[in-house]
Chains A and B, each alone.
Chain A
Amino acid sequence: MQGYLSLVLHAHLPFVRHPEHEKFLEENWLFEAITETYVPLLQLLGRWQQEGLNLRLTLTLTPTLCAMLQDRLLQERYVRHSEGLIELAEKETHRTRWEPAFHDLARFYLERFNRTREFYFACQGGLVGAFRAFQDQGRIEIITSTATHALLPLLAAHPPSVRAQILAARDHYRGCFGRDPRGIWLPECAYVQEVEPALLEANLRWFILESHGLLRARPRPCFALFAPILTPNGIAVFGRDLDSARQVWSRQGGYPGDPRYRDFYRDAGFDLDFDYVKPHLPGVDKRGFTGIKYHRITGPGPHKEAYDRQAALQTADAHASHFLEARLAQIRPLAETMDRPPLLVCPYDAELFGHWWYEGPEFLDSLAHRACADPQGLALITPADYLGRHPANQVAAPAASSWGEGGYWQVWLNEKNQWLYPHLHFAQQRMTELARRFRQPGPLQARALRQAARELLLAQASDWPFILRTGSSPDYARKRPTEHLLRFTALYDQLSKGQLDQPWLAQIEWRDNLFPDIDYRYWT
């Protein structure tokens, strides 16, 4: 064996649940990810287990994602969504009867959607439990993240908020997986030294940073990115490998942009007659993604050819082979220099595989088989496995950093989203004030305090400023933190005046229902 490869898949979605609407567009993020990423990933893990592949994978399942996957309303809506997909695919097999290329694809989608639905029912809708089973069997390591994916450096000026995000996540992880987490995915790999006390309190032992977070550590890491460091507090820090990131992530020249792969945007929901496709659209009376896409990327222009599934799978296999060869070429000179096998840490958003890059699961499958077929090459292990094999590591203080554009916090603090932060700042201070004031609350006060904590956590999600920056759904990204901050402020005022509106409290508990046992005292 020449070296190690740690594949880390970060699965996250913000908490989106709208019981007050029959159908809500942004809930589709979850449904699409279940269909195209989470179920395919579970199917892969199952197949690898049956085949006895010797590998371990690391997977983040964030608390908000787990909460949605376990939510009864969203489970029922997903079933409805998948049945709508099947119905549309069935209609498409008729509609494309005289267009062989599209007809084959329609039949492919029909079969695939049926299999996904059957798998979902086989799990009884419990995808979190299915992932847990693989961890319990030692196939994967599941790590946590912060409670609502808050960007911790922007909370660092208020340590109780950092603490609450981390401890609430730990508590939620315990409930989902029956054990304590050992690793944590810092949202956006965003780090400042001030987050470490809370990590220590939660007994979290390792995390991953963007490359410059490690390379700019003090003193300079002697193994560069190819081994972890230990912070002076004893927490292990792994650095993202640059080359493997670029090959997979890059929009220009990275694998997912290959012209043979399916085009994400050319969706039947935008192509087909509106009245025909309307019952299957994710929103109400507006076009949107259906998940049925007939075209491949083809090239940089608007002309798109029909998607050729077999050619795309062959491409994914070739890319996996290329990726592995590139990693081996990268490892070989390092292996001669280092006194331990070099480690490449390759973290990716899980939704890249299957959702944004449709052939991503097949790429992973091919990569896993190729790696396991070469015991002299790379061993696929988790960062925790590495620490078990190599517990002695260099002590160095990592550098503040993130994997966002610019390498720091620009994505989450700029002209489009800076308006949020003063409101978060004051809400955070008020939450601490409430936590310290109400040492022995009555039952109704306790409910209000827990709900205030939920609203604040939801307002702190880094997804909202991210979406405001990217512009993918700016109205929604503006609405969500505004509503949570207004609800928080109303709860603060009611608690301060001793005039709680119980029916209103019950209503917002029903709407924002994650973290039922949140401990508001974390903000003390």
Chain B
Amino acid sequence: MNVNANPEDEVTVKEYFGNIWRAISTTFKGMMITFKYVYSVKPVTIEYPEVREVLPDNSRSRLFNNADDCISCTQCALVCPVDCIYIASTPRSKEDPELKTSDGTAIKQNLTQFTIDTALCCYCGLCTTVCPTECLTHTTDYEYSQYTLDTMMYDYLDPEVRAWKDRLVSK
């Protein structure tokens, strides 16, 4: 189609039939591609919820903190860009028995509060990289929506929350 032509200009017979032929041939070529997709390309839709996709191991979904391993260094709370980690701790006195984390670091603080506001978290992963004992990790669980905001405050010292460890954290 001569798109530079003014609509009021006259179109020659050759151009007229040329336009029709070009319109039909390009549309036909496009339809051939579409039919190839209809008949020979298998559908790639994952039929959720019967089939669940397995996310890669380093995927940054729900956070989990293993509170037994936490040494209350508060690096995660300091580096968080949106300030969603709330930590409180008290120092352990010398009379208390010695506690160690699973990789041998001595625990010098009693952790009294470790709460993460999961609704505020932006899933950037900065807190997991600065944790020295690797107790704070991202798991691959992505199905945890709730109806109200206050149920999205995860208190990791709560025994119910601690019990998630077996389900969420892979070995």
Bound pair (A, B) = no
Interfacial residues, chain A to chain B (CB-CB below 8 A): none
